[in-house]
Every structure is written in structure tokens, then in C-alpha cells.
Amino acid sequence: MSFSSEVKAELSRQVSSARHCQIAEAAAIFRMCGQASEDGKKLFLRIENPKVAKKFGVLLKHAFEIDLRASGKMGSSVCVIEGREALGFLQTVKLLGADGHFEERPDFISGMIVQNSCCKRAFIRGAFLSGGSISNPQKSYHLEIVCDGAGKAEQLRGLIGALGIEAKVVLRKRYHVLYIKEGNQIVDMLGVMGANLALMELENVRILREMRGSVNRKVNCETANINKTVSAAVEQMNDILYIRDKIGFDRLPEGLEEIAVARLEQPEATLKELGDSLTPPVGKSGVNHRLRKLKEMARALRDNDEEESL
């Protein structure tokens, strides 16, 4: 079982005791992988993970008194809600318009559903369960949730940000992907969702990786090649900090801003590691080109300062 599957299995076993949190989580799952007829009398969900489908059924029974198993409407990955039960669900999650029909909206859900911090956590958990993934921490740190619209991705980023976690959004083909790449932020995200076992496993991996990295850096720094790399990185950092303090990053083209932030966050990373950390990844030559552009910009700014001081 992959690490992502382990996280989802752990989260699928958790059911909040508070009905408002159950509603928030069910709403997230529906908005991630559900559709509604125009009149709101039929809801259809295709949930790929059987454990998540089972949890959705439990949430419906607890929060909405809808028993899909008893009515035989639920399979391992398909869920259909019809008639008064469908309208009742939509009304509870604030997706029923004034005309009594389903109200499609560009974002996920009404803010009323996620007012409380606990409901935000439940909603984020539901969104991850039905549209998220996390990489094997032995290889890399990457968590993402795929959304089918910019409004949804931005609302989800706002909910996550309200809990102290910084996520970014990138357009990938026709989807808007919310992602987190920093190990400590992913640890916080697992804590927010309640995946405590996965959190401890990731923390153990991080400690071992950092220890190995520390030893390797000390050994490698004895070579001239690493000294050269470190010197170049320091020079790049100085140029980037000078640009930041002088004109700010918001005036940089997107590609230059991205590599500038990546270098500040990863001062010891090689060009390949920097490129791999970007979304989408960039090759060594591309990273080197961007850093060279920043170096030229810093030189021009310094030259301008010297001329003004004369």
C-alpha cells in the first residue's frame, strides 16, 4: 500500500462526533466528486477509493439519516441519492437555491458550512480524501489536491491558510492543483486532517533524511566541487536578497520569482534539486538561466545605486 493510500485509510476510519463537522466533510466529498441534476432531485457521486465511499455512506447516515446500504443504492465507488433525500442533502449543505433547484457555484461551498475551525479541518479532510494525494516521504515531500475550478482551489487555499498552512495553486492542464512541498507544512497538514499515525511516520523519515543529509554535507564539503557550489549559492542568495530588499519580488516575472523564492528556501540545494522542487519541474539549464537573469538584474541595480551616489 502506498503512503498516500495509508493516509486515506487512516482518515477514512475517523468520523467526527459533531454533526456540523460531519456535514462539512460530506459536503467536501460531494463537491469534489459529485454531480446534481438541475432540479436537485438526483445526486450522483463516483468515488474511486472504496474506503472513502464507505466513509461517505457513514457520514450520510449520521448527519442526514440517509441509509444508502439499506436501500441498495451504494456500490464500492458509485453513490446515488434521489428525491427528498437529495433535496434535503443540498439544503443542509447550502447548495439549494431560492427556486428550490441545485445552485451551482464557482467555489466549493457557502462560508456558513465552514465557519468553525473544526469544520474547516473536516472539510479539508473530505477534499483530500476525494481528490488528494501525498508522495512517499522517502523520496520527496509533496501533497496536492486536484480541483476542477479556480474558485474551488482558491477557497480551499483560504481554508488551509486560515489554519496557518501556506499552500500554492498551479494550473495543470484543465485542473487547478493546490499543493504543498515543504516537509514541515505537510506535517502540519496531516495534523489538521487528523492523520496522526502518518504524521509520526513522516516525522521519523524527516529526521533520518536530515541526519543523512547533514552527514553527507559535511563529507562533501571537503571536496572542491562542493565548495564551488556553496560559493555560487551564497552569491545567488546575496543577489536575490538584494533584489528583494530593493524592488521586491512582485515586480519579477513569474519564473524569476519562483526560482528566487526556491533558492531562499533551499540555500544548500543543487541546481537539479532546485529544478525538481518547482512546479512544473525545470531542468538544470533552465534553473541556471533564471539564476543568471537574477544575477544580471542585481548587478544592474547595484550599478544604478553607485551612479546615484556619485
At 119, the pLDDT band (50, 70, 90 cuts) reads: very high
Q: pLDDT tens for residues 127-149?
A: 999 999 999 998 899 999 999 99
- 8 A C-beta contact, residue 271 and residue 287: yes
Q: pLDDT tens for residues 239-250?
A: 888 888 888 888
**CA dihedral over 73, 77, 80, 85, signed as positive or negative:** positive
Has residue 180 got a pLDDT over 70? yes
- 8 A C-beta contact, residue 275 and residue 282: yes
Task: Give residues with Cβ within 8 angstroms of 109, minimum separation 6.
Answer: 24, 27, 28, 31, 93, 94, 95, 123, 155
C-alpha cell at 256: 524569476
* Mean pLDDT of the chain, nearest integer: 88
C-alpha cell at 95: 447548495
Sheet containing 175-180: order of strands:
132-134, 143-147, 175-180, 168-172
Of 139, 143, 137, the closest CA to residue 273 belongs to 139
What is the mean pLDDT of the segment spanning 290-294?
A: 91
